[in-house]
Amino acid sequence: MIKIKKTGLNEFIEYLMNDYDVYGSADVGKKTAFKKIDSASEIRHDITNTHLSPKDVFFPQSEVLFQYSDDGLKVPKKNEKPIAVWGMRNCDTSSLMMLNKVFGDAHQMSEKDMYKDPYWKMKYDNCLIFNQACNEPLSTCFCNWFEGNPFAKKGADVFVVDTGDYFILEGISDKGKAFLTKYKTGEDTTKADLNKIAELKKTAESFMPDVVDIKPLFNKMNKIWDEPIWEEISAKCINCGACTFVCPTCHCFDVSDEGKGKKGKRIRLWDSCMFQIFTREASGHNPRGLSTQRVRQRIMHKYNYFMDNYEQHLCTGCGRCVQVCPVNLDIREVIKQVLDYKLVKNEDN
Amino acid sequence: MCNCENTYIPIPMKVEKILIENPDRSLRTYDLSFVNEEDRKKFTYMPGQFCEFSILGKGESPFGIASSPTEEGILKFTVSRTGSVTNEIHYLQEGDIVGIRGPMGNWYPLEKLKGQDVVIIGGGFAFTTLRSMIVYMLENRDDYGKITVIYGARNPDLFIYKDELKEWDKRDDIILHLTVDKPIKGWNKLCGFVPTITKDVKPDPTSWCIVCGPPIMIKFTLPVLLEIGFAHDKIYTSLERRMKCGIGKCGRCGIGSKYVCIDGPVFSYEELKKIPDAF
């Protein structure tokens, strides 16, 4: 564990930039997001949850799969430097671990390389994540429902706490520890620093909402698929898809070609299960033609289907969908609604 | 680049032969050969699997492989002209180069079918992977018991692989029941929808059954099979969904916690009844 005086942090970030392409939370247009920085001063340290999640560092909103021309196919090369992300919050660190199960480990098909996503792997596999504690969680935060907390370190390479005058850095993974050992300029931490961290943690936890026990959620969801609750839940949804775009765990995408004649590129782009066209087949048949079916798909995927495949929920409680929803469809309320729901069609046991 | 390192890169294929299957030219069968010998060696598949057919500049669409692994060197796809990619496929000429990604998904339970009587029920141009299956079984004829095929189309023009159907009809080691929706002049075979004909044919319920066709046909044929007394784990079907990646990531072919592209497209009725609203 080392500490770096805030006034010396830019020096640390620049040291990091020697070996890594560094991403940090910053202003992007009128919103905040994680972006690749050219100078340490671009990073804003006062943002808790960025408007857009950092998933696009590893799974960009649009990504060229290959270019084609008369000379054949050209696949984008891996960047020379690996990626480091400064200031990621644990909800987002956790979400990347979930996405890695889909894109990286190909857990269900572990034996077959064809199910691993090379574009994800070339960015995520060697990355270094500086996971920062949230001293002041937002009113929309509910990571504590999902075994998270503002000071969680799971999935971090280096855990960072802002103690006012200092940033305290604790190596968590081997990669993280090795990096801190290499950096000679940090100061040693004292007992007072540890006390300060404990105090900050306690304050941060007091910001969090009461924990809702979501253990029964999976089983309950097994029984509500054809229940009228979905009409209630989806009634005000306008299928805008904003929740899926800001969500750090949503990962549906489209593959589309751009070009004219023999020259062009094949691109993948974020897509959304909220859109009718997402599942509409060329014949006109659409298995999820109704808004209710699409809302059910999203909620069931988060709290039931993903659990079935990977034994965890596909949600980290970051609260971005709550912030962004234009009709105030609050996913925390949906969870409570499902838990409290009295089955009409199926037996409760 | 090898397709196993990057599944998104299509394998180049040459259009060897195009067969127009029906008078309105809306169904065409493409025989593709591998441009690179290396790709040909690596590409092993089983009846029931599918590929993403790729036209650079237009995109990709999934199609069941209609050839059988016993037909070496070529891959056969039958394409109905429906959307923008299939339109472009219909513009292809013999000699053109296209791309495919695959083979994807699982396949019909050929190991389990060994030594068993098999009933194949198909509808319309979804007969593609069923053709693969039938050709495969006929090529390994001694491995299987009685083979019964029930195949329906809206009208006689809409059957695909008409020459092969004629050949099979002459053989005594495969029983073919062809049916069209409505009586039509010159058609001397069966008339009626597939579920009704299945009821009339009443295949032996100790056999294994593979059903593939439009969702509505599957939906009404399954109850008939159950009524006849087929075991739930001996009925198999192949599902279709809009797909993009084909490797369980892009999200659109999800049904319940399964993805049609990697957990299917072949599912037993035993599995399907646990998945809500599969068709």
**Tens of pLDDT, residues B89-105:** 999 999 999 999 999 99
- Does residue B1 carry a pLDDT above 50? no
Tell me phi and psi for residue B156, to 5 degrees. Answer: -55, -30
- Does residue B155 carry a pLDDT above 50? yes
Tokens encoding B163: 């020459």
For chain A, which residues score pLDDT lower than 70? 106-113, 348-349
Task: Inspect the interface and report whether the beta carbons of B250 and A260 lie closer than 8 Å.
Answer: no
Task: Inspect the interface and report whether the beta carbons of A273 and B7 lie closer than 8 Å.
Answer: no
pLDDT, residue A73, reads: 93
Tokens encoding B174: 């495969």
> Looking at the partner chain, which of B57, B215, B249 has a beta carbon nearest the beta carbon of A102?
B249
pLDDT, residue A107, reads: 53
* Span between the terminal Cα atoms of chain A, in Å: 50
Is the separation of the CB atoms in B262 and B252 below 8 Å? Answer: no
Is the separation of the CB atoms in B198 and B177 below 8 Å? Answer: no
Query: How many beta-carbon pairs below 8 A join chains A and B?
Result: 114
Tell me phi and psi for residue B153, to 5 degrees. Answer: -140, 160
The mean pLDDT of chain B is 94
Q: Choose the mutation target among A65, A67, A111, A115 for the interface with B, i.e. most B CBs under 10 Å.
A: A115
Model confidence at B250, pLDDT cuts 50, 70, 90, reads very high
Question: In chain A, positions 7-26, which contact chain B (CB-CB < 8 Å)?
Answer: none
- Asked if the C-beta of B250 comes within 8 angstroms of chain A's C-beta atoms, the answer is yes
pLDDT, residue B178, reads: 97
> Looking at the partner chain, which of A254, A278, A282 has a beta carbon nearest the beta carbon of B82?
A282
pLDDT, residue A313, reads: 96
Instruction: Give the residue among B241, B277, B276, B273 at the shortest CA–CA distance from B259.
Output: B241
pLDDT, residue B217, reads: 93
Tell me phi and psi for residue A62, to 5 degrees. Answer: -135, 140
Instruction: Give the residue among A69, A208, A108, A236 at the shortest CA–CA distance from A152.
Output: A208
pLDDT, residue A282, reads: 87
pLDDT, residue A184, reads: 79
